[in-house]
A and B are shown apart, each in its own frame.
Chain A
Amino acid sequence: MGCACHGDGNGSANVYRPYLMRIERIIDEAPAIKTFRLVFVHEEEGRSFTFLAGQFGEYGVFGEGESTFCIASSPTRKGYIECTFRQVGRVTTALADRDVGDVISFRGPYGNVFPVEQWRGKNLVFVAGGIALPPLRSVIWNVLDLRQDYGDITIVYGARSVADLVYKHELEEWKARGDVRVLTTVDPGGQTPDWKGEVGFVPAVVEKAAPSARDAVALVCGPPIMIKLTLPVLEKLGFAPDNIYTTLENRMKCGVGKCGRCNVGPYYVCKDGPVFTFAQLADLPPEY
């Protein structure tokens, strides 16, 4: 369990005590969306810190509070973590105000993981919309860093407009590699004159890309409407619900299965998730 725990003779350590992280780099991804690269202020904590793709954390600004985001970087990239967030409330506004060199708090990693290891040899299909690419980006870099271990990789990513696409440089990098099929799309009206990608909604682009379901796993993250309309497309292509993965984004506070906020049916998203297959979600109340 990750925390910057310090004993004081009272038995177990303080699980709410965060790591201190220094902002090493800030990338403006899209309007109101930034990526932070964070390094451990106390280097020895960074040396013992490990995480896997799919896990999340509580990122905080002292005096403002904590917010929940996934770890958007790959576990294959050591020495730092990255998070990508949209400025929308009190904590994310405070985060967005930070500069390189500032210190913020981080607790984690929390939650379960994408079974990336078990997917060795399989073909992978990533489908993401808008600000939901970050959790999949962790997996994408993870498998690209072990490229020979995985089969065909297809990425379908869409946003409302060209400006709203996150990780623009990485999308170009992935396209340029030649060993990844990347389809980017923007909603009708969201294109710019020089836009060379698709125009249309994500489900239609998935249908057009028509990735084979043979030996394949699909990962889908995006707004509810995108997910709702993408699932039938994937199922038509032959993907079974237990081979389609997503991450839930319930509101959380503690991250350690106690505060009760992320409880959906028998699950606590922070402990039993955030990664679920659509076969698992079919048995859950629609409260996410």
Chain B
Amino acid sequence: MADARTLRRESLARWFEAIRAAGRRILAPRARGDTTAFEEVTAPSEVAMDCVQTTLSPKAAVFPRCEELLRYERQGKDLRVTDPPLQPPETVLFGVRPCDAAAMEVLDAVFSADPPDRFFQTRRARTTVIAIACTQADAACFCTSVGLSPGSTLGSDILLTPTDGAGFAADVLTDKGRRIVELCPEAFGPAVAAQERRAVLAQVPVRFELKGLSDRLAALFDREELWVDQSLRCLGCGTCAFVCPVCACFDIQDEGTGRSGARLRCWDSCGFSLFTLHASGHNPRHLQSQRWRQRVMHKFSYAVGRLGRIACVGCGRCSRACPADMNLADHLQALAEAK
């Protein structure tokens, strides 16, 4: 059962201090020119509180863009292989949007499936998600089309909802969240008083009917003309996957010399033609339309069977970041309505 409290804006600074004093780092949206990303902050004043959505998602906190899987060192004929040090700092992700918090649950499902991935799991176990409900949205947002909402709690340890007073209603949802609250209990008051209401959350119109979309997509697989039409503008640049809070596909590459180096994994994208290229030269998805179809099918059809949920949280980043102005919600709407 959620533990409802209030948090005044002026108490945030004390809470941040207490979190940092307890040896945890705080990652929060920070504006740098035109982009906003999750970076380490020391005080609430550094946090870009009013940004609709960060340019990059917080997934790098649990699944870094590039990380070592092992190190190797050769001395003569002797070869030493070691696990890289894995001591990620205890981390509080502050100011996560509910869509990004929900994405953590999808990542959990991918990386916890047998065999579990210790790199992800170790970081994830040391990460607490403090989400802030959305009072504003933009045209790219479509959380309500994928079963979420500007105030959904899925994946959050604490959900802060702005109130019309000077603060937040704080729903403490998990033990992890409770431990962060308990670092500075004096920053919190009792549940929101009757005279202080929760702010009106953003209105995000429902763009398409999610129910049945997965089956519908399976039936649309062979409709080549639909996928070609949808992907005509696609450059295959992979930006959509890099900004996506859910995309978890990766590459494994060695970096180093014959003497010493590391085996790395790096984010990858099904939008790249190299993704599926066989050594023989055969490419099972040799057309960009096939790769776009894979992106849609993987997220909205295959993931349902494998993970029990779709692999999209409607954050809209792919649409905002696409250099060719492709809009995922538009495309899904078109597919949902395709005759």
Q: In the complex, A268 Cα to B117 Cα: how many Å?
A: 17
A-B contact count (CB 8 A): 143
A64 and B77 within 8 A (CB): no
Chain B CB within 10 A, most for which of A1, A286, A287: A287
The reply to whether the CB of B251 lies closer than 8 angstroms to some CB of chain A is: yes
Interface of B is mostly: mixed
The reply to whether the CB of A238 lies closer than 8 angstroms to some CB of chain B is: no
Residues of B within 8 A of A65 (CB): 252-254, 263
The reply to whether the CB of B79 lies closer than 8 angstroms to some CB of chain A is: yes
Segment of B93-101, B270-278, B312-320 engaged in the interface with chain A = B270-278
Give the Cβ gap from A86 to chain B, nearest Cβ, in Å: 8
A8 and B117 within 8 A (CB): no
Residues of A within 8 A of B22 (CB): none
Segment of A142-150, A153-161, A249-257 engaged in the interface with chain B = A249-257
A258 and B117 within 8 A (CB): yes
A258 and B113 within 8 A (CB): yes
Residue of B122, B261, B282 touching A63 (CB-CB under 8 A): B261
Q: Which of B289-305 contact A (CB under 8 A)?
A: 290, 294, 297-298, 301-302, 305
A20 and B79 within 8 A (CB): yes
Give the Cβ gap from A170 to chain B, nearest Cβ, in Å: 24
Q: In the complex, A3 Cα to B279 Cα: how many Å?
A: 25
Give the Cβ gap from B273 to chain A, nearest Cβ, in Å: 11
A257 and B254 within 8 A (CB): no
Residues of B within 8 A of A89 (CB): 279
Give the Cβ gap from B49 to chain A, nearest Cβ, in Å: 34
Against B, the Cβ 8 Å flags (1 = close, 0 = not) of A91-127 are 0100000000101010000000000000000000000
The reply to whether the CB of B114 lies closer than 8 angstroms to some CB of chain A is: yes
B278 and A263 within 8 A (CB): no
B306 and A92 within 8 A (CB): no
B298 and A288 within 8 A (CB): no
A287 and B285 within 8 A (CB): yes
A253 and B81 within 8 A (CB): no
Q: In the complex, A256 Cα to B297 Cα: how many Å?
A: 21
B249 and A261 within 8 A (CB): yes
The reply to whether the CB of B268 lies closer than 8 angstroms to some CB of chain A is: yes
Q: Given A249-B278, A250-B284, answer yes or no on A15-B118 (Cβ-Cβ < 8 Å).
A: yes
Q: In the complex, A11 Cα to B290 Cα: how many Å?
A: 39
Residues of A within 8 A of B259 (CB): 63
Residue of A20, A66, A263 touching B298 (CB-CB under 8 A): A263
B254 and A18 within 8 A (CB): no
Q: In the complex, A101 Cα to B257 Cα: how many Å?
A: 20
Q: In the complex, A209 Cα to B77 Cα: how many Å?
A: 50
Residues of B within 8 A of A268 (CB): 306
The reply to whether the CB of B134 lies closer than 8 angstroms to some CB of chain A is: no
The reply to whether the CB of A282 lies closer than 8 angstroms to some CB of chain B is: no
The reply to whether the CB of B86 lies closer than 8 angstroms to some CB of chain A is: yes
Residues of B within 8 A of A64 (CB): 254
Q: Which of A53-105 contact B (CB under 8 A)?
A: 60, 62-67, 86, 88-89, 92, 101, 103, 105
The reply to whether the CB of B74 lies closer than 8 angstroms to some CB of chain A is: yes
Residue of A14, A88, A258 touching B248 (CB-CB under 8 A): A258
Q: Given A20-B79, A287-B284, answer yes or no on A10-B250 (Cβ-Cβ < 8 Å).
A: no
Give the Cβ gap from A264 to chain B, nearest Cβ, in Å: 7
B248 and A17 within 8 A (CB): no
Q: In the complex, A251 Cα to B273 Cα: how many Å?
A: 12
Q: Which of B199-225 contact A (CB under 8 A)?
A: 221
Against A, the Cβ 8 Å flags (1 = close, 0 = not) of B16-31 are 0000000000000000
B302 and A63 within 8 A (CB): no
A258 and B252 within 8 A (CB): no
Q: Given A20-B79, A258-B110, A260-B248, answer yes or no on A285-B256 (Cβ-Cβ < 8 Å).
A: no
Q: In the complex, A261 Cα to B290 Cα: how many Å?
A: 14
B121 and A12 within 8 A (CB): yes
The reply to whether the CB of B280 lies closer than 8 angstroms to some CB of chain A is: yes
Q: Closest A residue to B306 by CB, please name it.
A: A266
A63 and B258 within 8 A (CB): yes
Residues of A within 8 A of B253 (CB): 65
Against B, the Cβ 8 Å flags (1 = close, 0 = not) of A186-197 are 000000000000
Residues of B within 8 A of A101 (CB): 77
Q: Which of A229-288 contact B (CB under 8 A)?
A: 249-251, 253-254, 256-261, 263-266, 268, 285-288
Q: In the complex, A253 Cα to B259 Cα: how many Å?
A: 23
Q: In the complex, A159 Cα to B270 Cα: how many Å?
A: 33
Residues of B within 8 A of A265 (CB): 297, 302
A251 and B86 within 8 A (CB): no
Q: In the complex, A55 Cα to B276 Cα: how many Å?
A: 20
B302 and A224 within 8 A (CB): no
Q: Closest B residue to A249 by CB, please name it.
A: B278
Chain B residues within CB distance 8 Å of chain A: 69-70, 72, 74, 77, 79, 81, 83, 86, 110-111, 113-119, 121-122, 125, 221, 248-254, 256-259, 261, 263, 265, 268, 270, 275-280, 282, 284-285, 290, 294, 297-298, 301-302, 305-306
Assuming A11-B125, A286-B284, what are 14 further A-B pairs, CB within 8 angstroms? A6-B83, A11-B116, A16-B70, A17-B69, A62-B263, A63-B72, A63-B261, A251-B277, A260-B248, A260-B298, A261-B275, A266-B306, A268-B306, A287-B285
Residue pairs across A and B with Cβ atoms less than 8 A apart, 22 shown, are A11-B125, A12-B115, A16-B69, A41-B79, A60-B254, A62-B79, A62-B254, A63-B254, A64-B254, A86-B279, A88-B280, A89-B279, A105-B81, A253-B251, A258-B117, A259-B251, A261-B249, A263-B270, A263-B294, A263-B298, A264-B284, A287-B285
